Structure 1
Amino acid sequence: MEVRVNARKRQVVDDDDIDLVYRFKVLLPNGTSIGLTVRDPNPEISFEDFISLVKDEYFLARKQYESMRQKRHVNWKGGRFYAEDVNGIKIRNTIKFENFKPHKCHILLLHDVLGGSADTFENMWDLTPDTDLLKELPEEYTFETALADLIDNSLQAVWSNSKNDRRLISVNIIDDRISVFDTGPGMDGSDENSIVKWGKMGASLHRFSKGQAIGGKPPYLRPFFGMFGYGGPIASMHLGRHALVSSKTKGSRKVYTLHLKREALLSGSGSELTWRTDGGMRDPLEEEIGESRHGSFTKDELHISVTRTV
């Protein structure tokens, strides 16, 4: 859920008077997340006032989403909060809007000194597809085709690496788990490189070429990628019921995660087709750093539905 706030508290807001719009995704200490939009603000706002806006939106969201009511309470009265941006810069006194690009979404992690913080955040990513795409879902998908589509995504990723960057694709199939790792450019939380594009149907830049991809005439891999242009989400949900995607770009300090769960998507979809899924940020693992010394990668870990012999 997202709230839009006029920071100058005008009685009437005319769209023509709004010059700047700042969007924030605030990750809360209890593992929930809220969206906040501030329109035409003053140059800065006190951190206390910013927390007040976040608090108001949090309670509005709790009324709408039952799952949020099941989370532990945030200690709004006694909590000692500070915010941290994706570069690790801590904010304690004021929110200075000159430090944020307008019309972009900025992720802020809210810490409670007394209560700690979470690693995974509910409804962090919006994967709602265009309605027309649901009419195009593939019927001839198989286990092998879905796995090939994931590998094809990785081939597409490493193909764009510079000559000095490592081009590695690693596939591991052990019991009921599949892991696909590549050292491509990776994804983060920015609008341009958002990990949402991995999980959102139709976000692939190569959907227009789907008729000339796998299933057409060889060579399959260049310049056309992806059998259907849906890539990660369709392939992952065909293979299993749960996928964890972890990705990092060269410019990001953190690894961004997206949790794709079939049951959660189905239960969250309805007439309005709102699909939201959990996500988070973490430090890169030593193994990940060792495999991708240039600093970017994507890893897709799947729990497959049925044990198969491959």
Structure 2
Amino acid sequence: MSPPQATMLGRRLHLNHGPIDIIAEAFGEGDEVQRAYHQAVARFGTILDELVAELPNLRAPVHAEQRAFGSKIAQSMEAAAQVFFPAFITPMAAVAGAVADEVLAHMIAGRRLKKAYVNNGGDSALYLGAGANMSLAIAGTGNDFEDRIFIGADDETRGVATSGWRGRSFSLGIADAVTVLARTGTEADAAATIIANAVDLPGHGSIRRAPAESLQPDSDLGGRLVTVDVGNLTAQEAARALEAGLRKADELRTCGLISAAALFLNSQWRMTQGMPVAMPPQTQALSGSLQNA
């Protein structure tokens, strides 16, 4: 595997190491931004090795009690996933969001920034200083939601994550995309997985599934059937699957585990209360639209 890579894309920082691919951006005085980027690069260089060292346990399902992990990032993944027990979930469901949170925490430590974000393949962590705001795009849904989500400094949301069967990770459900807002990227990532799994039509003949391990031998999902294709669905069937996912999203919102969620399937969508879709004028768009993950 190649060593960690860090390059500048204009004013944005690109970090890559194995499966981790990050775009980060900080806003503030030039010197402060450069110091923030140096801090992010320094922390990024050790993250993959830490995760690999604990990978067997990170791929194992959560239990009724939280397990102990050696690294802070692995422990945060475990904590975010374990709240969903007894549902099947492993800490790896939160890995992208946890990496984003960790890089952001080191990027902003001791720095005077107006705002910053770390976008790890669509699962993102945000920092907003006093009076700052960001507008975010949900890309790839075909539902005209581009540049429509607005998050302000007074909102509790600091993490945004997307899951679905079309993304880079496997899904037990059939959602094209489920985007979740939560307190952290780690929490948003785990919750998006759970909600996307709930968007489903069990036993439907137009949905093709395969054991995860047949597609990726080391998958944390093992022999569980993951969605590989969604054929023709009637509008009523798509609506039924979305309503199942919305019920799960509303349950998590009532419990305080998420701030809001938007669910997409076959050109239909559902949203929980609290999704901040109105974008005020003259706001700074989040560079790199949030992609399905």
If the length of structure 1 is used for normalisation, what is the TM-score?
0.28
- Structure with bigger helix share is 2
TM-score where L is the length of structure 2: 0.29
Q: Which structure's CA Rg is the greater one? A: 1
